[in-house]
């Protein structure tokens, strides 16, 4: 059996290919499907089957394009009510692919249609070798239960408990666990960074599997859920019908500096995808910085929404293309264009640049002693609860989609997150919202702790 995991770090998304005797199966494909076609060619196999573990909410799947290009069948849980040609999968569904046996388990909970795939490599054993758990079971966590229009989080959490204990945990301790997401995904809240585990390891270490009472499980799973980006439900609906091929998207238009200046004056969005250091050194006034180096697409979707029509600002055409691809992966397809010539062209046109001051943790500590400076922490609540700077205000970056924090615009603001990525985004959003004395704390809370500076813990009060 050939088995391969494809991990897309910017979305913390794992997809899979299994093959035997010239026939291949792809599970939970990302939107740009060339990666699977190349892998199939390299291994001398043909893709004949595509499984979706559920209707993904955090990215747009490539199942429809991959099926069109290979002639493969698509399999998805019967509860999905999928609008594309598919095989509706119910509990116990079995597919034989060469010497690979695939058995589906209906595991409602994260979503009503969720399925897990039990894999047996018959070349080695008659017993199950692994289970592809989709978003039902993660490493260290389980799927969030608030992504359905039909069922309440309480109902889904109850279903998830039953699916885990009546089906997944019935598998042998040595069965490998391969989920659809890893650390950083918003489909859960406590995932580990490893790429696979075992049923036995998860039984011992996964907090959600330590909860013995169904009632307590439901209570814990529905309390303090991480913010759900607006685009999640939109992506699930796109996946229900199947997205268009990436090749069908129109080419991006080049935007001259003067045109961008006019668009910004009219309320348009300029999305600067350069590294934070470059943005801080000089950027188009009013532009938003979401660097390609981090979870770019997830933050763009959460903060801008799928209907946004940003003008991309990048350091190269390659970076423009990469940004366009990543945005399309989460369904943000209608970018207005890109700034022709980048920031250099803006400068050559005689247009002004803005800069973003940065401050070290040691310098910030000294200034805090003298007063006249407010600190804004934009991390998520569990991060804040684990420790924060005394006197800091708290407004998680997720909340910026709704409104900027209610803080004094006349008092200088130093913004920080864990390591500096989210704080740069927040600084750019604050500047766009009219805050004029914003500074980024270099290195974030990690640097603060590494410097041995004091930390407190208390329940957060939103700024």
DSSP string, 324-371: HHHHHHTT-----EEETTHHHHHHHTT---B---EE-HHHHHHHHHH-
**Shared domain check, 76 and 187:** yes
Output the average pLDDT for the chain.
Answer: 95
Given 225, 241, 257, which residue is the final one in a domain? 241
Catalytic hit among 10, 116, 187, 417: 417
* Residue pLDDT, tens place only, 10-39: 999 999 999 999 999 999 999 999 999 999
Is there a domain that residue 84 lies in? Answer: yes
Burial status of residue 313 (CB atoms within 10 A of its CB: 0-12, 13-18, 19 or more): buried
CA distance 325 to 338: 13
CA distance 271 to 349: 19
Given 241, 275, 309, which residue is the final one in a domain? 241
Rounded to an integer, the average pLDDT of 253-259 is 98
Is there a domain that residue 463 lies in? Answer: no
**Shared domain check, 257 and 216:** no
Is 417 a catalytic site residue? Answer: yes
**Shared domain check, 43 and 23:** yes
- Name the residue among 354, 355, 361 with its Cα closest to residue 375: 361
**Shared domain check, 344 and 206:** no
**Shared domain check, 183 and 159:** yes
pLDDT at 52 (0 to 100) = 98
* Residue pLDDT, tens place only, 373-409: 999 999 998 899 999 999 999 999 999 998 889 988 8
**Shared domain check, 142 and 42:** yes
To the nearest 10°, report the CA torsion of 397, 401, 407, 413: 50
Percentage of residues in the chain with pLDDT exceeding 70? 99
* Residue pLDDT, tens place only, 161-214: 999 999 999 999 999 999 999 998 888 877 999 999 999 999 999 999 999 899
Answer yes or no: is pLDDT of 268 > 80.
yes
**Shared domain check, 363 and 326:** no
Are 309 and 285 in contact by the 8 Å Cβ rule? The answer is no
Is there a domain that residue 383 lies in? Answer: yes
Could you give the angle at which helices 153-166 and 214-222 cross, rounded to 10 degrees? 130
Is there a domain that residue 460 lies in? Answer: no
Given 241, 261, 293, which residue is the final one in a domain? 241
Is there a domain that residue 462 lies in? Answer: no
Return the CATH number at 35.
3.60.15.10
Rounded to an integer, the average pLDDT of 436-449 is 97
**Shared domain check, 120 and 173:** yes
User: Residue 226's pLDDT band (boundaries 50, 70, 90)?
Assistant: confident
**Shared domain check, 269 and 204:** no
User: Residue 370's pLDDT band (boundaries 50, 70, 90)?
Assistant: confident
CA distance 295 to 307: 19
Domain count, the chain: 3
Return the CATH number at 316.
3.40.250.10
**Shared domain check, 220 and 84:** yes
CA distance 327 to 321: 10
Is there a domain that residue 455 lies in? Answer: no
Describe the strand order of the beta sheet including 115-121 as a list of residue ranges: 94-97, 100-106, 115-121, 130-134, 176-179, 197-198
**Shared domain check, 221 and 85:** yes
Answer yes or no: is pLDDT of 351 > 90.
yes
In which domain, by residue range, is 298 found? 249-348
**Shared domain check, 257 and 284:** yes
- Residues comprising the chain, all counted: 463
């Amino acid at each position: 059996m050939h088995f391969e995991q494809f991990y897309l770090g910017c979305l913390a998304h794992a997809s899979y290919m299994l093959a035997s005797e010239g026939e291949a199966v792809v599970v939970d494909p990302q939107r740009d499907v060339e990666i699977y076609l190349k892998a199939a060619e390299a291994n001398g196999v043909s893709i004949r089957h595509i499984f979706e573990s559920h209707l993904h909410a955090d990215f747009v799947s490539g199942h429809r394009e991959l099926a069109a290009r290979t002639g493969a069948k698509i399999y998805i849980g019967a509860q999905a009510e999928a609008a594309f040609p598919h095989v509706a999968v119910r509990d116990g569904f079995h597919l034989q692919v060469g010497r690979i046996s695939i058995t589906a388990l209906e595991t409602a909970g994260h979503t009503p249609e969720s399925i897990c795939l039990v894999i047996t490599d018959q070349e080695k054993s008659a017993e199950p070798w692994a289970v592809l758990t989709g978003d039902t079971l993660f490493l260290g966590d389980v799927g969030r239960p608030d992504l359905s229009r039909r069922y309440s989080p309480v109902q889904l959490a109850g279903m998830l408990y039953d699916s885990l204990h009546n089906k997944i945990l019935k598998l042998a301790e040595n069965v490998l666990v391969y989920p659809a997401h890893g650390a950083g995904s918003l489909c859960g809240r406590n995932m580990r960074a490893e790429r696979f585990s075992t049923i036995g390891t998860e039984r011992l270490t996964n907090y959600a599997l330590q909860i013995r009472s169904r009632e307590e499980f439901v209570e814990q799973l529905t309390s303090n859920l991480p913010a759900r980006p607006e685009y999640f439900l939109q992506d699930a609906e796109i996946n229900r019908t199947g997205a268009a091929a990436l090749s069908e998207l129109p080419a991006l238009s080049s935007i001259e500096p003067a045109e961008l200046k006019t668009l910004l004056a009219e309320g348009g969005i300029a999305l600067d995808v350069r590294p934070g250091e470059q943005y801080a050194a000089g950027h188009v006034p009013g532009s938003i910085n979401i660097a390609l180096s981090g979870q770019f697409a997830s933050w763009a979707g959460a903060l801008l929404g799928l209907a946004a029509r940003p003008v991309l600002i990048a350091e190269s055409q390659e970076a423009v293309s990469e940004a366009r691809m990543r945005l399309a992966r989460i369904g943000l397809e209608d970018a207005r264009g890109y700034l022709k010539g980048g920031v250099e062209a803006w400068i050559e046109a005689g247009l002004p640049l803005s800069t973003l001051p940065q401050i070290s943790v040691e310098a910030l500590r000294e200034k805090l002693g003298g007063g006249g400076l407010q600190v804004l922490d934009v991390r998520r609540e569990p991060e804040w609860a684990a420790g924060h700077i005394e006197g800091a205000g708290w407004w998680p970056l997720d909340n910026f989609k709704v409104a900027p924090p209610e803080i004094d615009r006349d008092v200088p603001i130093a913004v920080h997150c864990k390591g500096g990525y989210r704080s740069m985004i927040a600084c750019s959003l604050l500047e766009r919202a009219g805050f004029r004395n914003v500074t980024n704390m270099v290195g974030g809370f990690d640097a603060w702790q590494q410097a041995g500076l004091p930390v407190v813990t208390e329940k957060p009060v939103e700024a």
